[in-house]
Amino acid sequence: MGTLRISRDSGYADRARKYKIICNGECLGKIGNGETQEYEVSPGGKEVYLKIDWCRSNKVRVEVPENGLVSVKGGSNLRGLKLLLAIFYVLLAPHNYLWLSSNSD
């Protein structure tokens, strides 16, 4: 087995809500504001993204090594003045509401 580590940054948007962690179409769990979680997953290629309601992050492809660790980090795109554009993101760009990146990006 390998380990998938997911870190969520701390921010004002969605502070009190948890994001679902989706890996290869299945929900691994939920992650709160400023948290880091680790999940044991089978080795190989994985497609990972974060989801809240009908909005989500970009999808990231990672390769989980046997007995190894791969890390991704994510959070909300609504920072600073972008908080005023929340309705735009929810209605017109729901796949850009959150962001996700791997250490190799």
What's the confidence (pLDDT) of residue 36? 97
pTM: 0.88
What's the confidence (pLDDT) of residue 34? 95
Domain borders along the chain are: 2-102
Low-confidence ranges of the chain (pLDDT < 70): 80-84, 104-105
Domain range 2-102, CATH architecture:
Sandwich (2.60)
56 neighbors 78 (Cβ within 8 angstroms):
no
What's the confidence (pLDDT) of residue 7? 97
Instruction: Label residue 61 exposed, middle or buried (CB < 10 Å: 0-12, 13-18, 19+).
Output: exposed
- In one-letter notation, the amino acid at residue 72 is V
